Structure 1
């Protein structure tokens, strides 16, 4: 899965002030990411606010991104949930031919045991016609997929090819990188520690901030992959304050403020999410202006 090495972008869904999907803004975001040099696109991840979209809206977003991409970059589709049977049914009925892989979150709310997580992904691996990227994000799911479970899945199923590791725990990430099968990819799900994970042997990142600054962020990851450490960390430190800011009041509120500052899209979210407050908006605006001046 060489196509998943580097920077993937977890695409946000822009909304108009009336809360309808802003198609033109979505096209701008996709083209900005592609023109900025990221390696692949991730559709309907957490950043997309798909939990507040209807099924028809999700299908519209998928088709819009596919049509805009026009085969230029590999694509990953988010297909997950906490009802295993429902996820399996979608995998068996959906046309996955446009996608290089699916990204599937560890079951949330139910809080399964490690054996339950294993059995969930076993069913997904057996049902999926494309490779599977595991997604571990304990802050959202309420349970941590332990390295032992990840490695068990990676060794047992050839089509489980990677993990988006977003526990924010470098020790856990190091254990995964140390013990993983040779071709299994460990991808950072945290923008702040993406570079350290890459330097430790990880394969890249599925990023939020990269869709606002695709050229700079993807270059940082490539420098890390090529072991150009000093140059990579120079970019890391330019972005570190901004990364903190965009997650300070939740995702995707922060990146949507970046879009507004860049003139790409409105900072509109669907409840229960709300835009960042005025103080944070002003700080993000200042960060964006500073990055533009440095570019």
Structure 2
């Protein structure tokens, strides 16, 4: 699955002041990323505020991004939830024309057992021929999918091609890298650990900060894939502070503040999220000016 190696970005959903989808800003964000080296784009992930976007808006976002991308880079669509039957139904009935793969978050809130995780993803894998990227993010789902479960799925289903691991746990990354099948991709979902994971044998990142600094971040990951650790860490060290800032309060309020400072989109978010505090906005503005 070469198409998911390198730097993917989990796109935000830009909003107008009335909190409608800002289509023009979304197109600009897509073009900015493609023109500056992002390898693939992720649509309607959690960074896109997918929990507070309507079904009609999600389709609008998909249509806009497919058209703007114009097959220049692969597209991954977020399709997940804790109602397995509903996710299976969507996989069987949605038109996936223009979509290259699925990112499916581990079931949240329900806190399934490891066998529950396995059976959930088994049902998804049997419902579609599309490549599936598992998404383990225990900080949001309230339950960790353990490496043994991820690797069991990797070995049992040929269309489960990767995991976006976002537990911010280096030991868990190492366990996955140590025992993974040769063609299974370990993708970092943690911007702060992405370079180290890549250097250890990972396949890159699905990033949040990458969409604001696509040239720098994608170059860092490419250097990591080439084993050029000293050059790569120069970029990593330069970006450490902004990575901390964007996750200091909530995601995507932080990254939207960066994008506003770069004149790409406004920093509006939908409740229950709120804009970054004035203190955080000042820190981010100072970083962007000095970058």
Range class of TM-score, shorter chain: over 0.9
Equivalence map 1:138-157=2 (5 Å): 138-157=138-157
SS of residue paired to 2:247: helix
Residue of structure 2 in register with 1:255 after alignment? 255
TM-score, length basis structure 2:
0.99
Q: Equivalent residues in 2 for 1:245-284 (5 A)?
A: 245-284=245-284
Deviation for aligned residue 1:97: 3.0
Deviation at residue 286 of structure 1 after TM alignment: 1.0
Please report how far the alpha carbon of residue 244 of structure 1 lies from its aligned counterpart in structure 2 after TM superposition: 0.1
Q: How far is 1:265 from its partner?
A: 0.9
Listed as ranges, the gaps of 5+ residues in structure 1 are none
Distance in 2, matches of 1:151 and 1:66, equals 32
Distance in 1 (alpha carbons) for counterparts of 2:52 and 2:129:
27
Q: Which residue of 2 aligns with 1:123?
A: 123
Report the alpha carbon displacement of residue 288 of structure 1 after superposing the two structures with TM: 1.1
Instruction: Give runs of aligned pairs for residues 120-199 of structure 1, distance below 5 A.
Output: 120-199=120-199
SS of match in other structure, 1:248? coil
The residue that corresponds to 1:88 in the other structure is: 88
1:79 aligns with 2:79: yes
Q: CA deviation at 1:85?
A: 0.1
Indicate the residue corresponding to 2:288 in structure 1: 288
SS of the aligned residue for 1:104 comes to strand
Q: Structure 2 stretches of 5 or more lacking a match?
A: none
Kindly provide the CA deviation profile for residues 131-183 of structure 1, in whole angstroms up to 9, marking residues without a partner as x: 10000000000000000000000000000000000000000000001100000
SS of the aligned residue for 2:103 comes to strand
- Inter-partner Cα distance in structure 1 for 2:205 and 2:229: 17
Aligned to 1:222: 222
8 Å contact kept, 1:106–1:117: yes
Residue of structure 1 equivalent to 2:59: 59
Task: Please provide the CA RMSD for this pair.
Answer: 0.6
The alpha carbon displacement at 1:50 in A equals 1.2
Q: Is the 8 A contact 1:132 1:162 kept in 2?
A: yes
C-alpha distance in structure 2 between counterparts of 1:204 and 1:58, whole Å: 26
For residues 8-46 of structure 1, what are the alpha-carbon distances to aligned partners after superposition, in whole Å with 9 as ceiling and x for unaligned?
A: 010000001111111111011111110110100000110
Count of aligned residue pairs for this structure pair: 291
Summarize deviations over 1:83-142 as a string: whole Å, max 9, x none. Answer: 000000000001223111100000000000000000000000000120100000000000
Tell me the SS of whatever aligns to 2:186: strand
Name the CA distance, whole Å, in 2 between partners of 1:16 and 1:145: 37
Q: Does 1:200 align with 2:200?
A: yes
Which residue of structure 1 aligns with residue 213 of structure 2?
Answer: 213
User: What per-residue deviation string (whole Å, max 9, x for no partner) do you get for residues 41-78 of structure 1?
Assistant: 00011000011111000000000000100010001000
Cα distance between partner residues in 2 of 1:25 and 1:108: 30
* C-alpha distance in structure 1 between counterparts of 2:217 and 2:102, whole Å: 23
